[in-house]
Amino acid sequence: MNKPIALALLALLVVAPFFVYPSFLMTALCFALFACAFNLLIGYVGLLSFGHAAYFGGAAYITAHVVKVWGWTPELGILAGVVVAAFLGLIFGSLAIRRQGIYFAMITLALSQMLYFFAVQAPFTHGEDGIQAIPRRHLFGLIDLSDSLTMYYFVAVIFLIGFAIIYRTIHSPFGQILKAIRENEPRAVSLGYDVDRFKLMAFVLSTALCGLAGGTKALVSQIASLTDVHWAMSGEVVLITLVGGIGTVLGPVVGAFIVIAMQNYLAEWGEWVLVIQGVIFVVIVMSLRRGVVGELVALWERRKPSAAGAEAKAQAAH
Amino acid sequence: MQRMKQLMSAAAMVALLAAPAAAQVSDDVVKLGVMNDQSGLYADITGPGSVVAARMAVEDFGGKVLGKPIEVVFADHQNKPDIGVNVARQWIDTQQVDAMVDVPTSSVALAVQEVTRQKNRVFLMSGPASSDLTGKACSETGIHWTYDTYALANGTGKALVKQGGDTWFFLTSDYAFGHALERDTAKFVTDGGGKVLGVVRHPLNTADFSSFLLQAQASKAKVIGLANAGGDTINSIKQAAEFGVVAGGQRLAGLLVFINDVHALGLKTAQGLVVTSAFYWDLNDDTRAFAKRFMEKHKGMVPSMIQAGVYGEVMHYLKAVQAAGTDEAKAVAKKMKELPINDFMTKNGSIRQDGRVIRNMYLLQVKKPEESKAKYDYYKVLATIPGNEAFRPMAEGGCPLVKG
């Protein structure tokens, strides 16, 4: 990403809570991180998981439980969520990556539905009621997070950490191999890469980051409920990523802000939100194939054909 | 920043103390947020009808309190606690909502109770049923207006045990409301010398009750207690008829049945059901007058007790704001508890320290088709349960606000 854009976005992140309702920003950031983690799989490894709600919601429940019932501090609570999500990812992932395409998607969906019904029945999740009134407590036992501005900066830092991990992963040799797998799996195999191992590593990394987003969201909204583990949540993250642009670094972030803003500010229209969401989804799929950010990037490159061409040539030469 | 805030709130406190007589309305508007199920299985008994009732109360009050306009906003929580919490917080933070109204679905209400407690807003509950809202989850600013699971159990449950229904099997909606209703009813059954043979819990908003009903049938219990509500009750009663549950000698006890449910079921299926309610439109001239006005404004639909309760609680809230001279939640809640309640559905009602409204409840029975003379002429009154007997004694609720 080029530097001026990065700095401008960072500045925006710092001043935003003074102009926009912080709770909305925090929710959007959690979903942005969730979508970025999902994008790591679909955009860079080419794996369409349809069960990411399991890790998001699973981590939300774990964080909620250890913070509310066991009295852990928020950072330990979120960490517990991440560990559990990564562990779930390891189990689910090692089963699912043996298949490809639609079969992969179906296996992830089936496994996440198992977790959903577990959440419906398990006593500690309180079924339909969810875990309510989760205290935010003190960060490191020192900083009071009940103030929404403090909480916002805590969430922003978590988002930046997660985002940095993803950015670093994509631009590392490891990320290059992932992209190679996405483009041509047999060729990656023929080059001597243990493709399954790379896929599993990417899967676990993605689920751990989903856990980070889910655990944080539980503290933001102070409730962990069935909505977070429902399959519709898995669909929502697909929608967010599609709207923003699959396989772009910033796409999921933009997508998350668009979708969450719609849900938030159109809430008074009731069920119509879903209809409006559906229409926007169709419009984007039909006319903005690459998503909002994807189209912008394409436009940018079309405007500067010579520079882009030179770059492409330079890349080809490598 | 924190320091500054403390200073400012301290300054505000001093200002408040210095001028207690001046009328205080925050943000120059008194805003009521009606939150309920606008489109799902509870939409008929709460939903848009509750919004109509709230607007009627505002209109009858004159549209203004302490010289400031009164506004009503509404939202759909889709029976999901997470949506309820988000909407409540956003209303309070960005739209200056002073009181939350209705909020059926106990799981959502319990979550909203926490938000209103944290943010110091009045919570006027008409829709939710769980008796925990004035028990262990009670709040200084939470008023539980219309009914609760204890009163339902006390009415219907007790009456059926007295009639010889001494073995029970529960079909329970699997969330806070169902659990509370089952618990409260089971207590009356065992206290009356009866026995609970078993329980099966179904998810909220279920379409297919066959496996649950078969279990209930196999239990051979004399009474099958339906600890559910709205669309779930309608579906379970309809499907029970298909399975021949009643024909097989077992009795169905709809522990929370609304007149709208009876309407949906039809008298042929619903006849004989014993129902506990805080309101029936055909009780006296006052209730008939309210129902007539309500039906004119709401597509000819009869008001449920929840919708009638919304009118009452909004009216009482506005009176209390007027009397207290402020819309600050704790002061208003205190005033609400001081003032007696008198309206078309509540005569000489009062509000206890734990937030429970004390009023008469009615034990009603659904008429046979041939007994019904007009549209919505569905109930006959079996008994009036006086307020001091209908609700759980304050000491037994475990509300932390109640001392001693």
pLDDT digits (tens, 9 = 90+) for B77-103: 989 898 899 899 999 998 899 999 999
Facing A132 at nearest CB: one of B74, B90, B110: B110
Nearest residue on chain A to B5, judged by CA atoms?
A147
Q: Are B336 and B278 in contact (CB under 8 A)?
A: no
Do the chains contact at A133 and B204, CB–CB below 8 Å? no
From B188, B40, B150, select the one nearest B394 (Cα to Cα): B150
Whether residue B68 lies inside any domain: the answer is yes
* pLDDT confidence of residue B4: 54
Collect all residues of chain A within an 8 Å Cβ-Cβ radius of residue B82.
Answer: 130, 221, 223, 225, 227-228
Residue B298 carries which side chain, given as an amino acid letter? H
Name the pLDDT band for B217 (thresholds 50, 70, 90): very high
* pLDDT confidence of residue B5: 58
Name the pLDDT band for B22 (thresholds 50, 70, 90): very low
Facing B174 at nearest CB: one of A21, A128, A271: A128
Whether residue A140 lies inside any domain: the answer is yes
- Backbone torsion region of residue A196, taken as left when φ is above 0, otherwise alpha when ψ lies between -120 and 50, otherwise beta: alpha
Collect all residues of chain A within an 8 Å Cβ-Cβ radius of residue B90.
Answer: 21, 23-24, 264
Residues 6+ apart with CB under 8 A from A15: none
Residues 6+ apart with CB under 8 A from A311: none
Do the chains contact at A130 and B111, CB–CB below 8 Å? yes
Whether residue B11 lies inside any domain: the answer is no
Same domain, B182 and B260: yes
Residues 6+ apart with CB under 8 A from B277: B147, B258, B259, B305, B361, B362, B364, B379
Residues 6+ apart with CB under 8 A from B213: B171, B236, B239, B240, B243, B245
Asked whether the predicted pLDDT for residue B19 surpasses 60, the reply is no
Collect all residues of chain A within an 8 Å Cβ-Cβ radius of residue B85.
Answer: 132, 221-223
What's this model's pTM, rounded to 2 decimal places? 0.85
Do the chains contact at A227 and B175, CB–CB below 8 Å? no
* pLDDT confidence of residue B404: 53
Total domain count for chain A? 1
Buried b (16+ CB within 10 A) or exposed e, B16-37: eeeeeeeebbeeebbbbbbbbb
A232 Cα to chain B: minimum distance (Å): 14
A276 Cα to chain B: minimum distance (Å): 16
Burial class of B372 by CB neighbour count within 10 A (0 to 12, 13 to 18, 19+): middle
Total domain count for chain B? 2
Whether residue B16 lies inside any domain: the answer is no
Whether residue B108 lies inside any domain: the answer is yes
Residue A119: strand, helix, or coil: helix
Whether residue A5 lies inside any domain: the answer is no
From A254, A207, A235, B100, select the one nearest A227 (Cα to Cα): A235
Do the chains contact at A227 and B176, CB–CB below 8 Å? no
> pLDDT tens across B285-327, in order?
999 999 999 999 999 999 999 999 999 999 999 999 999 999 9
Task: For residue A53, give its domain range.
Answer: 17-230
Do the chains contact at B111 and A132, CB–CB below 8 Å? yes
> pLDDT tens across B335-363, in order?
999 999 999 999 999 999 999 999 999 99
The per-residue pLDDT of chain B, averaged, comes to 90
* pLDDT confidence of residue B346: 92
**Residue ranges in chain A whose pLDDT is less than 70:** 1, 267-268, 270-271, 305-318
Tokens of B361: 């409840």
Q: How many Cβ atoms from other residues are within 10 Å of residue B212's Cβ?
A: 20
Whether residue A107 lies inside any domain: the answer is yes
Matching residue, tokens 């977070």: A228
Do the chains contact at A270 and B39, CB–CB below 8 Å? yes
Residues B244-273: what's their mean pLDDT? Answer: 91
| Separation CA A205–CA B98 (nearest Å) | 45
Same domain, B168 and B41: no
ipTM here:
0.80
DSSP count for chain B of H helices, then E strands: 16, 15
Whether residue B324 lies inside any domain: the answer is yes
Residues of A at the B interface, defined by Cβ within 8 angstroms: 21, 23-24, 27, 120, 127-130, 132-133, 147-149, 221-223, 225-228, 264, 267-268, 270-271
Whether residue B156 lies inside any domain: the answer is yes
Buried b (16+ CB within 10 A) or exposed e, B69-108: ebbbbbbbbbbbbbbbbbbbbbbbeeebbbbbbbbbbbbb
Residue A138: strand, helix, or coil: strand
Same domain, B155 and B142: no
The enclosing H or E element of B200 equals strand B195-202
Same domain, B262 and B374: yes
* pLDDT confidence of residue B307: 96
Task: For residue B209, give its domain range.
Answer: 150-277+366-386
Residue B139 carries which side chain, given as an amino acid letter? S
Whether residue A240 lies inside any domain: the answer is no
Same domain, B158 and B96: no
Radius of gyration of chain B (CA): 21
Whether residue A92 lies inside any domain: the answer is yes
Same domain, B169 and B201: yes
Q: Which of A30, A132, A233 to mutate to test the interface with B (most CBs of B within 10 A)?
A: A132
Same domain, B312 and B220: no
* pLDDT confidence of residue A307: 52
Nearest residue on chain B to A220, judged by CA atoms?
B86
Do the chains contact at A132 and B86, CB–CB below 8 Å? no
Do the chains contact at B175 and A23, CB–CB below 8 Å? no
DSSP strand pairing (B99-102 vs B68-76): unpaired
> pLDDT tens across B41-50, in order?
899 999 999 9
| Sheet strand arrangement including B68-76 | B64-65, B68-76, B30-36, B99-102, B122-125, B142-144
| Chains A & B: contacts with CB separation below 8 Å | 71
- Higher-pLDDT residue of B184 and A139 is B184
Same domain, B129 and B229: no
For residue B265, CA distances in Å to B231, B233, B236 come to 10, 10, 11
Same domain, B370 and B248: yes
Residues B238-255: what's their mean pLDDT? Answer: 90
Do the chains contact at B174 and A133, CB–CB below 8 Å? no
Same domain, B39 and B157: no
Q: Are B70 and B325 in contact (CB under 8 A)?
A: no
Whether residue B264 lies inside any domain: the answer is yes
Q: What is the DSSP string of A139-160?
A: ETTTEE--SHHHHHHHHHHHHH
Whether residue A157 lies inside any domain: the answer is yes
| Separation CA B214–CA B121 (nearest Å) | 46
> pLDDT tens across B49-70, in order?
999 999 999 999 999 999 999 9
Same domain, B270 and B289: no
| Separation CA B198–CA B212 (nearest Å) | 11
Name the pLDDT band for B9 (thresholds 50, 70, 90): low
Do the chains contact at A267 and B176, CB–CB below 8 Å? no
- Please state the separation of Cα B328 from the chain's center in Å: 24
Do the chains contact at B75 and A267, CB–CB below 8 Å? yes
CATH code for position B46: 3.40.50.2300
| Separation CA A207–CA B154 (nearest Å) | 49
Whether residue A139 lies inside any domain: the answer is yes
DSSP strand pairing (B274-277 vs B361-366): antiparallel
Collect all residues of chain A within an 8 Å Cβ-Cβ radius of residue B81.
Answer: 129-130, 132, 223, 225
Same domain, B373 and B234: yes
Q: What is the DSSP string of A209-264?
A: HHHHHHHHHHHHHS-B-GGGTSHHHHHHHHHHHHHH-TT-SSHHHHHHHHHHHHHH
Whether residue A308 lies inside any domain: the answer is no
Nearest residue on chain A to B75, judged by CA atoms?
A268
